[in-house]
Structure 1
Amino acid sequence: MDTEAHLTAGYCAATGTYSSRHPPLTTAAAASFPDYLFPRLLTFPPDSPAFVDASTGATLSFPDLRTLSLKAAAALSALGLRRGHVALLLAPSSLHFPVVSLGVLSLGAVLSTANPLLTPRELADQARDSEPFLALTTAELAPKLGSLLAASRVVLVDQLLAGLAGHDAWAAGASGIGRDDPALLFYSSGTTGRSKGVVSTHGNVIAAAALLQHVWRRRGGGDAEDVYGCVLPMFHMFGFSAFVLGTPAIGATAVLVPGRFSVDRLMAAMEEHRVTRLLAVPPMVVQMAKKLAAGEPSPTSSARRLCLRDVVSSGAPLQRDHMARFASCFPRVSLVQCYGLTETTGIVTMCDLSPLPHGNGNGDGVESSNEPPPASISIGRLVPSTEARIVDAESGESLPPNRVGELWIRGPTVMQGYLRRGEATAAALVTDGGGRRWLRTGDLCSVDSRGLVHVVDRIKELIKYKAYQVAPAELEDVLAAHPDIHDAAVAPYPDEEAGEIPVACVVRKPGSNQPQAQDVLSFVQSKVAPYKKVRRVVFVDCIPRSPSGKILRAQLKSFLRTTTCEMHGAELQATTRV
């Protein structure tokens, strides 16, 4: 490939790196994320809502977001929360979520979120690891915390906010926070294994907000003209970075559609509040297209009433046929993908947004090209101030465009490391010969000659169920506790609605009660969050393992894919070895 093509791809053969084609990030000299955000909130129109709750019509303005967050900081300080303490936030998305989050960050305390679907056992595991000083939650979710914390350290969010009138606003910048201080402790399974606490600093968080401000800006238009639809959970890094860090920083309105995802409620909210940009995960995109395709008399009649211009999908790859179906139902909407990790404090690649030309709308690029279409759909270009390497898994060699290898990322949003997991941190964050630190993503990718990144496969063992991360090792630990199971392994199986589902391959214990599939399903379901539960059971003679005992997951996945015609029920009896 010639030098000109390398330059077009953003590739430097001398260093083996790909560089973002966006201008570098420029951020104010703020020491903390609140110091970066709060002055901006005072520059936006006071009558323009930062957040709207579509279910109630309640709103929160930009000035009120600042004032309430600083009052929440004062109230939390009165409860003893200090710089460096961990505050666990167990709550669904709401107008309160960003207020409480920013209140915690204003004190220099570390915000750790938890999925409300987690079981008490799973919450206990996370609490033992993060050691929270206090927990912020709702009356409905408080019983899940049980005896994890003293009753005086479990704070109900509604009661906290109801008492804010009695507190003066916390003095912004009074905590002496620095950019290298930890800000977030979100949990991720990383490339493999059990969930680990990802430590993101205030510098990481500032950079994440600044790059979203850049990539979300329309050419020829202002930031505030966009109204964002929020159906993503704010406890997840995708939703948190988008709606606690991103939209407030650019002065855009976010319309919350809380509760269980419903296409009907989403469509009604988007129409009423004139949503122009929706952030979603693939199962939501699939459901939107299916719902509209089944409509009568015209599949696109509902779509024409919307102001929607962009849908940005992330969390898992979108299949090409799903994108085509969506395009036929929403012909005026640009559907693009972005890519990010908890370890990168949000996105690191993103497709260009309208009004740029999109060709066939599949997100593969914006320039005209005579090249054949790639086998995978692009997840976009590197965001500002971000570099990448495509590394051959065997040789460690950096690969040029159109070669497949592991994606390594370097940039200002990359995490500080995993909490108290030195070995896992060392495996994920590696230093090259030039002393530069890189995050190994565990994803097999390629970069084409236009600088567009394509996900080919995952090295990592995680199962992506509706964009949630499900660690096979965690489910295998649960299965190992069943008295009638001799051995078990969990692997992903393709599913149109969910992307992937966890399937358990189980070896029954000789002379046992010979459990049936439903027995196994119920056993796991009682011990994990709903999104983690095993969806199907395959009974096998043995689990494929290496001489060292490691599960041969590639062989397991291949075996499951050969049983496609039989995988319609909850159980498959396999009489041959895997």
Structure 2
Amino acid sequence: MTTATDMLARDFATLPDLIATHARDLGAKTAVADEDGSISYADLDAAMDRIAAALQRDGIAPGAAIAIVAAPSIDYAIVFLGALRAGGVAAPIAPSATPASIAAIIADCGAPIVFVDAANAAALAGQDIAARIVEFDRTFADWIAPEGATPAAVAIDPADGFNIIYSSGTTGTPKGIIQSHAMRWSHISRNAAAGFGEAVTMIATPLYSNTTLVSFLPTLGWGGTVVLMKKFDAHRYLALAERHRATHTMLVPVQYQRIMALADFDTFALSSFRLKTSTSAPFSAALKADVLKRWPGVLIEYYGMTEGGASTGLNATEHPDKLHTVGVPLPGHEMRLIDDDGNEVTPGEMGEVVGRGPTMMTGYHGRAEATRDAEWHDADGNRYIRHGDVGRFDDDGFLILMDRKKDLIISGGFNIYPTDLESVLAGHEAVGDCAVVGVPSEAWGETPAGFYVVRPGFEHEDAGAIMAWANARLGKTQRLAQLHRIDEMPRSAIGKILKRELRDSLAGMVA
């Protein structure tokens, strides 16, 4: 009898087959919980069969995209995984996008069916959507195949599509990033050391994000338990983690920031935590140090892209002297730095990050030219993905990120990295959150403009005084030309600051 351990040692297997094995061997163990209930591995496997059988009944062929627009829930997980069992390609879509953008994404991926919750059903009501719409709260129970239904077996090849993740659109029109079953299998099977089999993993980011899937999928692949939050709230997160005795979590830096800022953080019992991870946005050294000091368990920061390329890892617990870095390339990942002409830079110099590894995307859905633009090839013809970030390696091989290449400010011929300015601004006691972007300048071409959210209790502080304080600590070519106080920093659902929105707010302004 084949066990999950046997399967995980193979070069390739599928997540649906793994879950079927867990259903047989783990039975009543909780697979997924949300704030309304839970489902065991046996019931999850049966529900996946019912989803797959219903898709086949409706004539939806293997390879078709199955779109989902909803907040995280057990039903969401069932549809995502059941679509895979039918040979479909899961296409989770951000509810935070505009209704028109969601409709365009559904059309772009060609999904014949889309699953929505009540809030998104209402939001999409006026859109012209050709796909069949199934509402979790109204029509799902009638649509799903009856209890005991079993689908026809579908052969899944490693190169077949597993999911399409649409980029956030923070740099333009969202692009569908196709990831294969082979890529996801590598991602699941390589996590033997992470202890996901005994994990209770807190999921507090959306299921349409690769940030979430890097914890969600391995936990289920190894037979652990996933706890889903519909919407992140720092207090609620800690209460759920304490109740479920959570062992693992993936949080984006702004979530760590909000959790650690709670006055009663130290009153929660968090000793069950073994592994905390973070990715998707800059994670300040000071915040990492605070997490290390006050929150039990190992802390690891990952740097990478949804598109793949290469990833790095920083075990902050083992390397507390490297908190200003994002770590070293993971095993099997290769990373290089190139200049504007596509040539590799010499050791110690800054360059654009390019990488290759086992988790590379197949390409952008229906966008061959965009796929080519995202690639770089070395002299031997090996394919790398451009990360769009500028960085350098220190003498120990740890990567220090400077900034997004597109966010680089060139002022009077000098390169200014916004992260350098942001780290200084963040040091002012009145600054709770901040960002720096470039604005046009008649004298210098571009010059830095800052934005900040005031820390509670410091509302009396003047923006001009804060700017003067920061400029006194910055180099002459780095100094801010303007500083604006705003009520809230615009962020994507996974915590990335939307600098395009900040630039747009200053459109037409010349420093």
Q: TM-score range by the shorter chain?
A: 0.7 to 0.9
Q: How far did 1:359 drift?
A: 5.3
Please report how far the alpha carbon of residue 290 of structure 1 lies from its aligned counterpart in structure 2 after TM superposition: 0.7
Secondary structure at the aligned position of 1:379 is classed as coil
Change (3 A) 1:544 1:425: farther
Matches within 5 A, 1:74-113: 74-113=53-92
Aligned with 1:231 (options 190, 196, 204): 204
2:402 paired with 1:456: yes
- Partner SS, residue 34 of structure 1: helix
- Spell out, residue by residue over 1:344-363, the C-alpha distance to the aligned partner (whole angstroms, 9 max, x if none): 29x8222348xxx6354x6x
* Number of residue pairs aligned between Structure 1 and Structure 2: 444
Tell me how far apart the structure 1 counterparts of residues 60 and 236 of structure 2 sit (CA, whole Å): 38
What's the offset of the Cα at 1:555?
A: 2.4
Quote how far apart the aligned CAs of 1:433 are: 2.1
Task: Give the match for residue 140 of structure 2.
Answer: 160
Aligned to 1:269: 240
Q: Structure 2: how far apart are the matches of 1:379 and 1:49?
A: 34
Whether the aligned pair in 2 keeps the contact of 1:283 and 1:499 (CA below 8 Å) is no
Aligned 8 A contact 2:407 2:438 in 1: no
For residue 440 of structure 1, give the secondary structure of its aligned residue in structure 2. strand
Instruction: Indicate how the Cα distance of structure 1 residues 453 and 140 shifts in structure 2: closer, same or farther if over 3 A, else same.
Output: same
Matched, 1:351 2:314: yes
Change (3 A) 1:323 1:408: same
Map of 2:32 onto structure 1: 51
Distance 1:63 1:30, change over 3 A: farther
Equivalent residues of 1:430, 1:438 under 8 A apart: yes
Q: Return the letter of the residue paired with 2:358.
A: P
CA distance in 1, matches of 2:397, 2:146: 52
Report the 3-state secondary structure (helix = DSSP H, G, I; strand = E; otherwise coil) of the residue aligned with 1:51: strand
Q: 2:306 aligns with which of 322, 339, 342?
A: 342
Task: Tell me the equivalent position of 1:514.
Answer: none
Structure 2: which amino acid aligns with 1:358? E
**Residue 567 of structure 1 pairs with residue 477 of structure 2:** no
Which of 180, 186, 205 pairs up with 1:201? 180
**C-alpha separation in 1, matches of 2:170 and 2:351:** 15
Separation (CA, whole Å) in 1 of partners of 2:174 and 2:83: 23
**Do 1:185 and 1:197's aligned partners in 2 also have CA atoms closer than 8 Å?**
yes
Q: 1:289 aligns with which of 260, 269, 275?
A: 260
The Cα of 1:198 is off from its aligned counterpart by: 0.8
1:427 aligned to 2:373? yes
Task: Name the SS of the counterpart of 2:446 in structure 1.
Answer: helix
- The answer to whether structure 1 residue 555 and structure 2 residue 446 are counterparts is yes
Q: Distance in 1 between matches of 2:16 and 2:508?
A: 60
Q: 2:45 aligns with which of 66, 72, 75?
A: 66
Shift in alpha-carbon separation, 1:351–1:558, aligned structure 2, 3 A: same
1:256 pairs with one of 217, 228, 231: 228
Tell me if structure 2 keeps the 8 A contact 1:32–1:178. Answer: no
For 2:47 and 2:432, how far apart are their aligned partners in 1?
38
Q: Distance in 2 between matches of 1:286 and 1:408?
A: 29
Tell me the alpha carbon deviations over residues 264-314 of structure 1, each in whole angstroms, 9 at most, x when there is no partner: 1111111111112221001110011110xx23xxx6333x55422332111
Change (3 A) 1:431 1:44: farther
Over residues 76-96 of structure 1, what are the superposed CA-to-partner deviations in whole Å (9 max), with x where a residue is unaligned? 222232122222110111112
* Paired residue secondary structure (2:261): helix
Conserved? CA contact 1:215–1:383, under 8 Å: no
Counterparts of 1:568 and 1:209 in 2: how far apart (Å)?
Answer: 43
**Within 1, Cα distance between the matches of 2:270 and 2:486?**
40
CA deviations on 1:529-555 (whole Å, 9 max, x unpaired) are xxxxxxxxxxxxxx469xxxxxx9x92
- Residue 33 of structure 2 aligns to a residue whose secondary structure is strand
Distance, in Å, in 2 between the alignment partners of 1:232 and 1:443 is 23
- TM-score of the superposition, structure 1-length normalised? 0.68
Q: 1:435 to 1:394 in 2, by over 3 A?
A: closer
Q: C-alpha distance in 2, partners of 1:70/1:461? A: 47
Corresponding position: 1:383 with 2:363: no
* Higher RCO (C-alpha under 8 Å, 6+ residues apart): 1
State how far apart, in whole Å, the 1-side matches of 2:54 and 2:210 are. Answer: 26
Structure 2: unaligned runs, 5 residues or longer = 1-6, 409-417, 452-477, 488-501
Change (3 A) 1:564 1:239: farther
Match of 2:459 in 1: none
Q: How does 1:356-371 map to 2 (within 5 A)?
A: 358=318, 360=320, 364=322
> Is there any run of 5+ residues in structure 1 with no aligned partner, and where?
1-24, 218-222, 365-375, 463-490, 506-542, 546-551
- Cα 1:319–1:66 shift into 2, 3 Å: same
1:151-209 alpha-carbon deviations (Å, 9 max, x no partner): 871012354356443461224xx333322222211111689432211111222221222
AA in 1 matched with 2:376: V
Identity %: 26
**1:577 corresponding residue in structure 2:** 510
Residue 129 (str. 1) matches residue 108 (str. 2):
yes
8 A contact 1:226–1:276 mirrored in 2: yes
Measured against aligned partners, the alpha-carbon deviations of 1:120-166 in whole angstroms (never above 9, x if no partner) come to 12213323322321111113211323355668710123543564434
* Residues 501, 100 of structure 1: alpha-carbon distance in 2 compared, 3 angstrom cutoff: farther
Larger deviation, residues 141-150 vs 416-425: 141-150
Structure 2 residue 390 is the aligned partner of structure 1 residue 444? yes
Contact persistence 1:40–1:249 (CA under 8 A): no
* d(CA) in 1 for partners of 2:227, 2:508: 53
Q: 1:499 to 1:62 in 2, by over 3 A?
A: farther
Q: 1:301 aligns with which of 237, 243, 267?
A: 267
CA contact (8 A) 1:407 1:441 kept: yes
Structure 1 residue 499, shift from structure 2 partner: 6.2
Check whether the contact 2:73–2:228 (CA below 8 A) recurs between aligned residues.
yes
Residue 439 of structure 1 and its aligned partner are, at CA, apart by: 0.8
